[in-house]
Structure formats: structure tokens, C-alpha cells
Amino acid sequence: MKIEYKNIKEFSEEELQNLFLSVEWLSGRYPEKLKVAMRNSDTVLSAWHEGQLVGLINALDDGILTAYIHYLLVHPSFQKQGVGKELVLRIREIYKDYLRIVLICDKKEIPFYQNCGFEVGENTTPMFINTKMFINSD
């Protein structure tokens, strides 16, 4: 299977909605906001198969020391085929001269990220303030 990787920030709302909802992320309900978020991100790398957006990683950075990976998602049909790992490797290359690359993940995803070179921080706990817009009301 041929995957094409791109460093772009412009996506259609439909492309983003389809990808985000494929992994059941609530933000997929707000494709107009996702479109702006990608455009405003410092770095966005995407994976494409036959014109379909199948993976995406984005990072926000301070320009010199720290980059934060905000999203990494791969369409379920393309998971476990190296797409996510390739996106992580590519973003690591972009930020190789930074002091650190930070991300927050679900506990079940820790082995994947460790396999990509990340370490679990000692004595750290991620904290959030979720606005009511993103709280699942189903």
C-alpha cells in the first residue's frame, strides 16, 4: 500500500471530520474549528492513500525549546501498518534540535509511544480544563 506524506496545513472540513470521527474523537464534530486549528498549528504532517486523508500529526512549539504534539491519529483501516510511527519519526526529525517534545496520551497508548522513543515522565500528571463544548453529552 502506497502512503504519501505531506507537510501541509490546508484541509477540507470533510477530510478532517472523516478522519477524526473514524477514531471517535469528539473534536470531529467541529470540522470548522479543526480546519482553523490545523492552519494555526506550527507543524502539521499528514498521510494520504489514494487521495484520502488517513493520518495526521500536529505540533505546537515555542520556536526553540519545546514542541507539543497535540494530535496523532490514524484511520482504523490504516492502523498497525506503520503510518503512525512514520508520522512520529518525521515530526521528531523536524524537532530534533529542541530540548524536548511533549505529548499526552491514554495509558493504553504508552507502549506505542515508548516504541517511538518517548519516556513516561516521573512525578507528572497531565491536567485539563475541558469546556462544555467537548464534553460528550450523548
The phi and psi torsions of 79 (rounded to 5 degrees) equal -75, 155
Query: pTM score, two decimals?
Result: 0.87
Which contiguous run of DSSP H or E holds residue 115?
helix 110-115
Count of beta carbons in the 10 Å neighbourhood of residue 53: 21
Per-residue pLDDT tens listing for the chain (138 residues): 899 999 999 999 999 999 999 999 999 999 999 999 999 999 999 999 999 999 999 999 999 999 999 999 999 999 999 999 999 999 999 999 999 999 888 888 988 999 888 888 888 877 777 776 555 554
β-sheet with 52-61: strand ranges across: 4-6, 43-49, 52-61, 66-74, 100-103
Question: Which superfamily does CATH assign the domain made up of 4-134 to?
Answer: Gcn5-related N-acetyltransferase (GNAT) (3.40.630.30)
Length of the chain: 138
Look at residue 82 in the predicted model and tell me its pLDDT: 96
Query: Tell me, what's the pLDDT at 32?
Result: 97
